[in-house]
Amino acid sequence: MPKFEDLENQLGIQFKNQELLIQAFCHRSYLNEHPDFLLPHNERLEFLGDAVIELVVTEYLFLEFPEKEEGILTCWRAALVNSKTLSKIAEELDFGKYLLLSKGEAKEAEKKGKSYLEILANTFEAFVGALYLDKGYKACKDFLYKHLIKELPAIIKNKSFIDAKSRFQEIAQEKLRITPTYKVLKEWGPDHDKHFIAGVYLENELVAKGQGSSKQEAEEEAAKKALKKKRWE
């Protein structure tokens, strides 16, 4: 069992109920190999944390940028709360060191591939859910302002809030007068672990394929690859 006291000391946050903290790092797979473990997995905390993060970020953007319209604020929020950003912060905070995973998942985690990054992002959300239950909204706000909101200037500067699908559509319409279309080419896996492959088309031409844990993620990945293939970046 990892020493969660080390994480508390690192973050400067002491949980009243440390079981909430431990639960936040407990992946579903861990319970398959440890059926006698006294705590549930972290998916309910993840559900709660996702909502808390969205509220904190929305409140911040609303108050800090009164001159900006809803559309741009929505794009900024999406770039801040997506799995790529959350997994990046989780890595910076060394969350991977505290994950409770099955042996198989732990072996996969060593490769630091896409599934591992998704687990990290989900764990970050679960941690915020645990923090909310243990210390309330203000503690979550302080934590997210310190570790997540700091990413916003780079997101704005690099225009990474403009998603690949929107960019590909804009250029395709400008250059070819064609609106790209998307089609799910393959899907597999149980409900809690779905995978999709989507293709992006310009009329009948299959430009690129993308894979993701949701249709939207697969389509976004396909659009990124299509931008590269067409050299429209």
Q: Give the CATH number of the domain where residue 45 resides.
A: 1.10.1520.10
Q: What is the pLDDT of residue 208?
A: 97
pTM of this structure:
0.75
Tell me which of 157 and 58 has the higher pLDDT: 58
Whether residues 19 and 131 share a domain: the answer is yes
137, amino acid identity: Y
The pLDDT confidence band at residue 106, using thresholds 50, 70 and 90, is confident
Residues 62, 130, single domain; the answer is yes
pLDDT of residue 87: 95
Q: Once rounded to an integer, what is the mean pLDDT over residues 111-123?
A: 88
Interval 160-203: pLDDT, tens: 777 888 889 889 999 999 999 999 999 999 887 889 999 999 99
Which among 143, 158, 173 is the end of a domain? 158
50 is catalytic: yes
- Based on the fold, state whether residues 53 and 72 are members of the same structural domain: yes
Residue 1: per-residue pLDDT? 85
Whether residue 159 is predicted with pLDDT greater than 80 in this model: the reply is no
Residue 63's pLDDT is 97
CA distance linking residue 42 with residue 25, whole number of Å: 7
Q: In terms of domains, do 143 and 169 share one? A: no
Of 224 and 112, the structure prediction assigns the larger pLDDT to: 224
pLDDT at 33 over 80: yes
Catalytic position from the list 46, 105, 118, 125: 125
The reply to whether 183 and 153 lie within a common domain is no
Out of 50, 219, 220, 221, the active site residue is 50
Domain range for residue 118? 4-158
Residue 47 shares a structural domain with residue 95: yes
147 and 187 assigned to the same domain: no
Res 9: pLDDT: 96
- The domain tally of the chain equals 2
Query: Same structural domain for residues 100 and 193?
Result: no
Task: Tell me what the mean pLDDT of segment 145-165 comes to.
Answer: 89
**Dihedral of the CA atoms 125, 130, 133, 136 (nearest 10)?**
-70
Q: Each residue of 40-53: pLDDT tens digit?
A: 999 999 999 999 99
Quote the pLDDT of residue 93.
97
Catalytic residue check, 92: no
Q: What is the C-alpha separation between 189 and 179, in angstroms, rounded?
A: 31
The verdict on 100 and 213 lying in the same domain is no
Are 63 and 148 found together in one domain?
yes
- What 3 state SS string does 31-47 have? HHHCCCCCCCCCHHHHH
Percent of the chain residues topping a pLDDT of 70: 100
Given 158, 174, 199, the domain boundary residue is 158
Domain boundary among 137, 158, 179: 158
- The pLDDT of residue 133: 98
Can you say whether residue 195 is alpha, beta or left, with left for phi > 0 and alpha for psi between -120 and 50 degrees? Answer: beta
